[in-house]
Every structure is written in C-alpha cells, then in structure tokens.
Amino acid sequence: MTHRPLWIGTSFKMNKTRAQSVAYATRLRSELGGGVPGVRAFVIPPATALAEVSLALEGAPVRTGVQNAHWADGGAWTGELSVPQAADAGARIVEIGHSERRAHFAETDGTVRLKVGAVLRHGLTPLVCCGESAEVFARGGSVEHVLRQVEAAFAGLSGTRGDEGLGRALIAYEPVWAIGEHGREPRPEDVAPVHEALAAEWGDRVGGVLYGGSVTPGNAADLLRVPGVGGLFVGRAAWDVEGFLELLRVGRRHAGAMA
C-alpha cells in the first residue's frame, strides 16, 4: 500500500521581520538538502517577507504560502492581497479561514468559499482551516460543526484526489480550544472523532487533512498516529527553525514506519 506524503508546515502568524524570516529559510534550506523522505514541508511567513523567503527557498524542497488572500484578482480593496499577487511573490499555498481570522476579521463560511474558488482558479493550493470552539467541543458537537464548515468551504466543487481542482486542496483541522498560548494540548482521543469523520467524507477528495493546535515535537508522533491525520500545521513550536526541523524529523520517522 502506498502512503501519501505527510504535509508538515508552519505559519509565522504576525511574527518575524524580513531578516528573521530569511534567516529561518536559509537555515532550513541548508539543513534539508534534497528533502525529507515522505514529507512535504511548507512555510507561511508574514506577507512582507513572502517574496524574499520564496527566493531563499527557490529550488528547495519547501513550499511557501500566504496567510490570507482576497477572492478578487484586483481592485479597490484597501489593505487586501490578491491570489495573483501572492503567487507573484512565490506563494503556492494560500491559508484560508484560520480561526483567528474568523474571530477577529469577520471571515465567514461564505468568504472562505469565495477564496477557495479564487485559489483553485489560479492553480494554487488552498489550505482551509476549520475547528470548533471549546463550548462546541464540550457539548459533543465537534464532528457536526467541522463537517459543516468544510462542506461550506467546498460547496459546489467536485473532483478527486490528484485532480487539478478540489484534489489539490488541504484541510487543517485546528480546534479553537487547542490553538495558541492559551490553548490546551489535545489528547489524541480528543481529535480522533473529527479526523475519522473528515477522512470518511473528504479523505479521497482532497490532497490531505492536517492537524493543528498546540503541536510540539513531544506530541507530534502521537498526533500523526491518529487515523486520518495526514500532516501537521504548527505555530509556536516551529517558530524557532530548530523546532521545525525536529518536527520534520518526527514526520520522517512516521513516514518511514508507515512505508
């Protein structure tokens, strides 16, 4: 049986200068050489550093991405960034619908769907974030909540894995209660039901389903063993490049064990 490569990546969120981002990329490039067997690495720096980081990683086995993009190709949208602009700066991945954007910047299922359409239209990979609040988790509504978010994100799109359309998309399941410095580290059994449901509904239709939220080198192997988890999307633990390299090593060991 062949296994799909694991996707392991990080978003710097609103952190790092251009110089810090490029230093990170340069170190990553020199450490990774030809790549990490069984793993597809990606880095999503702040937009200010995207072009330089993409150049620093040109030809290296690391994709770059952008943390958000507008659905229009251009126009009077002050403060926004379009998918063609992100692609021009080297992005191959566009993160969409992170819970911080849903909570603080009025991102809705409707705007997520528009953005997914724009990203696919331009041949990039949408990385669609989904996840339930602590309240929804506590009342046992996680699976229903997440499936509804993902259904809305991909409404009307079709395709199978490997296709040029939806098959290129990635899903990141990031329970809101697990994200960030106030998040709670999940137990594998906390996130297993949603991953099982996502694998059943979407596993054959998208490029991969990642887990995100309080991932560390210490819990990464256990989280990768949750059925349906096809990678990790990491914040804090990967902001130091040594942490990211350690997570990539965990991914390589997991991929090797599954081969």
- State the catalytic residues: 98, 174
Query: Under the phi-then-psi rule, with left for phi > 0, alpha for psi from -120 to 50, and beta for the rest, what region is 242?
Result: alpha
Q: Which of 183, 188, 193, 243 binds ligand G3H (CB under 6 A)?
A: 183
Candidates 196-204, 209-217, 221-229, 246-254 — which segment interacts with ligand G3H by CB under 6 A?
209-217
Q: Which of 5, 6, 8, 11 binds ligand G3H (CB under 6 A)?
A: 11
Q: Which CB sits closer to ligand G3H, 133 or 163? A: 133
Q: Which of 235, 247, 248, 250 binds ligand G3H (CB under 6 A)?
A: 235
184 binds ligand G3H (CB under 6 A): no
Element (H, E) at 100: helix 99-104
Q: Which of residues 211-230 bind ligand G3H (CB under 6 A)?
A: 212-215
Between the two ends of the chain, the Cα-to-Cα distance in Å is 8
d(CA 228, CA 143): 14
d(CA 249, CA 113): 34
Q: Which CB sits closer to ligand G3H, 50 or 234? A: 234
Q: How many residues bind ligand G3H (CB under 6 A)?
A: 14
SS (H, E, C) 167-211: HHCEEEECCHHHCCCCCCCCCHHHHHHHHHHHHHHHCCCCCEEEE
Binding mask 122-161 for ligand G3H (x = CB under 6 A): ----------------------------------------
Q: Which CB sits closer to ligand G3H, 90 or 235? A: 235
Beta-carbon contacts of 257 under 8 Å, excluding residues fewer than 6 positions away, are: none
Candidates 104-112, 144-152, 192-200, 207-215 — which segment interacts with ligand G3H by CB under 6 A?
207-215
d(CA 121, CA 115): 10
Q: Which CB sits closer to ligand G3H, 87 or 95? A: 95
C-alpha distances in Å from residue 20, one per residue of 12, 68, 144, 169, 242: 11, 21, 40, 29, 14
236 binds ligand G3H (CB under 6 A): yes
Contact residues for ligand G3H, defined by CB under 6 A: 11, 174, 179-180, 183, 212-215, 233-237
